[in-house]
Amino acid sequence: MHRDKKRNLLIIDFFTLIILIFLDQLTKYFAVTNLKDKDSYILADGIFELHYLENRGAAFGMLQDQKVFFVLVASIILAAIVYILFRMPYHKKYIKLHACLVLIASGAIGNLIDRIRLNYVVDFFYFSLINFPIFNVADIYVTVASVLLVILLLFVYKEEDLEFLSIRSK
């Protein structure tokens, strides 16, 4: 019975992943068609705007034109997520962990699609008030899920809750 529930949860994870990637790619399509080669679209003057950017690096302009590095890192992260999702026992307490990992995977794949297809990532959200790096929906997935993951690991899950990650555990 747990095997069927776990399989169903993994199927839900997969379809959620597909939907989230689709939403990310859809927003990037709208950014390209409506913002590229145009002035920023001001949503809140001096605070927030839509500003098209072809990002060939990471946040704050780091690691420009390092496509192979980004593809390799994303592939390793995705492999780790798949490993964890398949090793994780079926239990209600792990639903939040599933959600975080699916969000991180969705963001990683969304930006990976851009890097492979375009050689850059389409970014378009810009908080001008604090001059925050321009970002996209995939970045939101990764950032929110990473913060939640840290909170879960620090305050919710105990060491024994994560024993399934041990190579020796079955």
In terms of C-beta density within 10 A (0-12 exposed, 13-18 middle, 19 or more buried), how is residue 143 classed?
Answer: middle
The catalytic residue among 65, 114, 139, 161 is: 139
The catalytic residue among 13, 24, 114, 123 is: 123
- Among 129, 125, 130, which Cα is nearest to 140's? 125
How far is 164 from 10, CA to CA, in rounded Å? 16
Residue 106 main-chain phi, psi, to 5 deg: -60, -45
How far is 59 from 56, CA to CA, in rounded Å? 10
Please indicate whether residue 4 is annotated as part of the active site.
no
Residue 55 main-chain phi, psi, to 5 deg: -90, 110
What is the chain's alpha carbon radius of gyration, rounded to the nearest angstrom?
18
How far is 92 from 117, CA to CA, in rounded Å? 38
Please indicate whether residue 123 is annotated as part of the active site.
yes
Catalytic residues: 123, 139
